[in-house]
Amino acid sequence: MTEESLAASQAIPSVKAGRRTFALLKAFAAIAAVCVLPLVMPINIATEILIYGMFAMATNLLIGTAGLFSFGQAAFFGVGGYAAGYFLAHGWTSLPLVLFMAFASGGLLAAMIGGLIIRRLGIYFMMLTFAFNQLVYYVIYSWHSVTGGEDGLAGIRRPVLDLPLIGSFSFDDNRSLYGLVCVLFLLSIGVLARLVQSPFGLVLAAARQNSRRTISLGYHVPALQLAAYVIAGAVSGVAGALFGMLYRIMPIDSVHWAASAYVVFMVVIGGQRSMLGPVIGAAVFIWLQGLFSLAWTRWPLLLGLFVIIIMTYLPQGLVGLASQRWMRAIKRGARV
């Protein structure tokens, strides 16, 4: 099951129908899941899962589709969060304004960093994303007057949505904030899924599999990769802004490179080859983090062990395993 497959005109009909059913099921499951989520767990955790789900989906545009292993995505999550947070803490609480600031600052920073490093390949690219992440971290750490330094940016207020005629709508209540996060989360799924299936997404996927060949077909691959990098940065910035709104503080840890590693783990746990994979990965990761931290103070050890097991035995992640089983069941059904 690849998200990036063209509609095959001569595919086996039952398999094709199965695929369509599967896609529809996934869409319904996504909407149902975001509705049910707050019923089965504290609403803060549910909100956090959707925020990190957004962050992980954006990261997976780079890892899964473009094959760009970025270990510095927390820089964009953090900068989006700090930018929006700064406005919210200083009395500018208009929702469109802060969301735009988060989107633009994440995208702009990604354009600057990406412009410098996108032509580097493999391990060099990876190390540079990491290095720039730390650079951003230390800038935020030292710029105490604006960012709050190591204490984090505190005093973030929840935004207000002013609608003409209807009146203004505040997100002080955690349930209304969850609603906002749901809308942005589903919007991100829709936009990113469409992107991956567009010619842009297909050519990116081609460049992941063989960059040199894709260039020799006449595509300016670095420009396409830079566009993906900027889009991922912008979406991550919005996720960061929502995180700051949720806890009313932007902690310095959120820009640390460890946060970049965590989001890569989420992608790996869930699976890179589908849109929902990273979201499931985010949910499992956050759930396990809570579980392990209750059980043992050295919980990161258990988490690390879990990631190692997934990478060794399920290279396509949890969703990869599930869709493999599903396709096998459909084929068996078609044969009978």
Considering only residues 205-224, where is the footprint of another protein by CB under 8 A?
205-206, 209-210, 212-221, 224
Shortest distance (Å) from residue 216 CB to another protein = 6
CA dihedral 30→32→35→36, nearest 10 degrees, is -110
In whole angstroms, the minimum distance from the beta carbon of 316 to another protein comes to 12
- Tell me which H or E stretch contains 10: none
Q: How far apart are CA 265 and CA 55, in angstroms?
A: 12
Q: Cβ of residue 269: shortest distance to another protein, in angstroms?
A: 21
If binding is defined by CB under 8 A, does position 324 make contact with another protein? no
Q: Which is nearer to another protein, 145 or 209 (CB)?
A: 209
Residue 302: count other Cβ atoms within 10 Å of its Cβ.
16
Q: Smallest distance, Å, CB 219 to another protein?
A: 6
Quickly list DSSP for 226-258: HHHHHHHHHHHHHHHHHHHHHHTSB-GGGGSHH
Task: Considering only the stretches 162-170, 192-200, 233-241, 245-253, report the one whose residues sit in contact with another protein under the rule CB under 8 A.
Answer: 192-200
Indicate the residue among 136 and 234 with the shorter CB distance to another protein.
Answer: 234
Amino acid of residue 150: E
297 part of the interface to another protein, by CB under 8 A = no
Residue 139 near residue 109 (C-beta atoms within 8 A): no
Alpha carbon distance 142, 149 (integer Å): 6
Angstrom distance (rounded) from CA 59 to CA 324? 23
C-alpha atoms less than 13 angstroms from C-alpha of 20 in its C-beta half-sphere: 8
Tell me which of 131, 160, 195, 321 binds another protein, using CB under 8 A: 195
Piece of 87-95, 134-142, 194-202, 246-254 that binds another protein (CB under 8 A): 194-202
Pattern 8-47, another protein, x by CB under 8 A:
xxxx------------------------------------
- Taking the C-alpha atoms of residue 260 and residue 322, their distance in angstroms, rounded to an integer, is 26
Binding of another protein at residue 69 (CB under 8 A)? Answer: no
Question: Is residue 5 close enough to count as binding another protein by CB under 8 A?
Answer: yes
By the 10 Å C-beta count (0-12 exposed, 13-18 middle, 19+ buried), 148 is classed as buried
Q: What is the rounded distance in angstroms from the CA atom of residue 21 to the CA atom of residue 120?
A: 40
Rounded to a whole number of angstroms, the minimum distance from the CB of residue 143 to another protein is 34
In the complex, what is the shortest distance from the CB of residue 69 to another protein, in angstroms, rounded to a whole number?
A: 17
Candidates 4-12, 28-36, 47-55, 74-82; binding stretch for another protein (CB under 8 A): 4-12
CA distance linking residue 308 with residue 54, whole number of Å: 23
Please tell me whether residue 202 binds another protein under the rule CB under 8 A: yes
Single residue of 70, 129, 197, 254 touching another protein by CB under 8 A? 197
The single residue among 27, 43, 186, 227 that binds another protein, judged by CB under 8 A, is 227
Residue ranges binding another protein (CB under 8 A) = 2, 4-11, 194-195, 197-203, 205-206, 209-210, 212-221, 224, 227
